[in-house]
Amino acid sequence: MNTTEKKQQLAAATFQSGYNCAQSVLSSFAADSSIERDMLLRLASPFGSGIAKTQETCGAVTGGIMAIGLKYGKGVNGTEEEKARAYELSRQLIEGFTKEHGCTTCRTLMNGLDMNTPEGMAKIKELDLFRLRCLNYVKSAVKLTEEILGNN
């Protein structure tokens, strides 16, 4: 099993144990950073379900963007070039995810269902979308992020 597959497996297990998509993706990159996995889980916690359950940008994508930022983002003594690079790599992730899944909008990825209503959440559960769709989005975001981080 290669590094990408191990990270995908870790992210999938994290998601299946009750963490959100952003937490699952970001925490799978803990070994690549100096930040403890628990801190990454906390950091990504409000980004699930399209950022705080707003169903906007998919949490799997935002988790990947945060992983890119950890490696390439502009820090205290950073440069504008570092920030520009992080933006460019993040756009690559967004474009790759969109190419693979059609968009990055959580609500669209969830068949247009509103997870903030009892009816919407019931339909999501009935269709088993968290397992059938979100788990795939998590694995996809990990793979794309790993490719981006490995190629730069």
Report the alpha-carbon distance of residue 9 to residue 14 in Å, rounded.
Answer: 9
φ, ψ of residue 16 in degrees (nearest 5): -70, -20
Q: What is the mean pLDDT of residues 93-103?
A: 98
- Taking each helix axis from N to C end, the angle separating 80-101 and 135-150, rounded to the nearest 10 degrees, works out to 140
- What is the reported pTM? 0.95
Report the alpha-carbon distance of residue 23 to residue 80 in Å, rounded.
Answer: 28
- Split into its structural domains, the chain has a count of 1
For 79, the token pair is: 């440069």
The H-assigned helical ranges of the chain are: 3-16, 21-27, 37-44, 59-72, 80-101, 106-109, 118-126, 129, 135-150
**Torsion region of 50: left, alpha or beta (phi above 0 gives left; psi -120 to 50 gives alpha):** left
Question: Where does the pLDDT of residue 100 fall: very low under 50, low under 70, confident under 90, or very high at 90 and above?
Answer: very high
Report the alpha-carbon distance of residue 121 to residue 126 in Å, rounded.
Answer: 8
DSSP state of 123: H
pLDDT tens digits, one per residue of 10-51: 999 999 999 999 999 999 999 998 899 999 999 999 999 999
Boundaries of domain holding 92: 3-150
Mean pLDDT of all residues in the chain? 96
For 63, the token pair is: 């988790």
